[in-house]
């Protein structure tokens, strides 16, 4: 039970809690705030790993996470929402209770799986991986349970948070890859943004089910 382990456990655990909070929230600004909080936790977690493992290149990852995902993306999304005028409740496909229960089951599954598969690996890595996989699955779950395009973007970004957490724990990812991942996330945001505005222009709504109307083959 050493100190380094305690802190990284705390930060990663709080990230998981933030993922659940994302699933639970149904107000769009609260979703954004929670997401920003998760990104900041990620930055702290990555920074802590950099300090405790003595790998300064992780500070850059932390800085990217903090600036890009903790500040830039939430602010951008915030503006987008205001411009689109959709700051109302998020509609959900499944109800909150069921979503949370599924989320719990997914978390249990990922813990079970990672602990089983990586029995030989070093302990801190295993825990980081287990929590990261849970965060990734919860991000995916968020993407499929939300109808609103903006919250789907948040789900995707939160998934990506999990990926970065996994990469930090695994000690494998070179800096170039990290920078390019960050860059591609930014690109994805732009694509999403353009996409959302186009949907909005066409259908007066960002409910992605509105897209169904374009397809002629549905009865």
Binding footprint of other proteins on the chain (CB under 8 A):
1, 5-7, 9-10, 13-14, 16-17, 20, 24, 93, 95-98, 100, 103-104, 106-113, 115-117, 123-124, 126-127, 130-131, 137, 140-141, 143-144, 147, 208-209, 211-212, 217-219
Taking the least distance from each CB to other proteins, the nearer of 1 and 176 is: 1
Residue at token pair 């973007």: 153
| Geometric angle at alpha carbon 46, from 40 and 47, rounded to 5° | 90
User: What is the nearest approach in angstroms of other proteins to the Cβ of residue 179?
Assistant: 27
User: What is the nearest approach in angstroms of other proteins to the Cβ of residue 1?
Assistant: 6
Taking the least distance from each CB to other proteins, the nearer of 116 and 204 is: 116
Taking the least distance from each CB to other proteins, the nearer of 61 and 145 is: 145
Q: Encode 91-124: b = buried (16+ Cβ within 10 Å), e = exposed.
A: ebeeeeeebeebbeebbeebbeebeeeeeeeeeb
The phi, psi pair for 3, rounded to 5°, reads -65, -45
Taking the least distance from each CB to other proteins, the nearer of 20 and 64 is: 20
User: What is the nearest approach in angstroms of other proteins to the Cβ of residue 22?
Assistant: 12
User: What is the nearest approach in angstroms of other proteins to the Cβ of residue 113?
Assistant: 4
User: What is the nearest approach in angstroms of other proteins to the Cβ of residue 79?
Assistant: 25
Per the CB < 8 A criterion, the answer to whether 19 and 158 are in contact is: yes
Taking the least distance from each CB to other proteins, the nearer of 63 and 197 is: 197
Distances (CA, A) of 209 to 31, 92, 93, 172: 20, 12, 11, 40
User: What is the nearest approach in angstroms of other proteins to the Cβ of residue 137?
Assistant: 8
Taking the least distance from each CB to other proteins, the nearer of 104 and 177 is: 104
CB atoms within 10 A of CB 207: 16
DSSP 8-state secondary structure symbol assigned to residue 86: -
Structure tokens at 215: 């397809």
Task: Name residues whose C-beta falls within 8 Å of residue 55's C-beta, 6 or more positions apart in sequence.
Answer: 49, 171
């Amino acid at each position: 039970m050493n100190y380094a382990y305690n802190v990284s456990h705390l930060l990663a655990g709080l990230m998981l809690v933030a993922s659940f909070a994302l699933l639970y929230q149904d107000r769009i600004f609260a979703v954004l705030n929670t997401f920003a909080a998760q990104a900041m936790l990620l930055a702290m977690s990555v920074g802590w790993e950099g300090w405790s493992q003595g790998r300064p290149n992780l500070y850059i990852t932390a800085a990217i996470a903090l600036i890009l995902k903790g500040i830039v993306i939430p602010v951008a999304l915030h503006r987008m929402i205001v411009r689109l005028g959709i700051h109302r409740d998020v509609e959900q496909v499944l109800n909150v209770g069921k979503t949370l229960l599924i989320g719990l089951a997914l978390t249990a599954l990922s813990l079970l799986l990672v602990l089983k598969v990586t029995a030989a690996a070093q302990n801190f890595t295993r825990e980081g991986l287990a929590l990261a996989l849970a965060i990734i699955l919860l991000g995916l779950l968020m993407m499929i349970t939300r109808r609103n395009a903006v919250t789907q973007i948040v789900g995707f970004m939160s998934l990506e948070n999990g990926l970065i957490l996994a990469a930090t724990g695994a000690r494998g990812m070179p800096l170039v890859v990290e920078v390019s991942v960050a860059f591609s996330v930014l690109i994805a945001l732009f694509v999403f943004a353009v996409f959302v505005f186009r949907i909005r222009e066409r259908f007066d709504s960002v409910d992605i089910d509105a897209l169904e109307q374009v397809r002629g083959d549905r009865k």
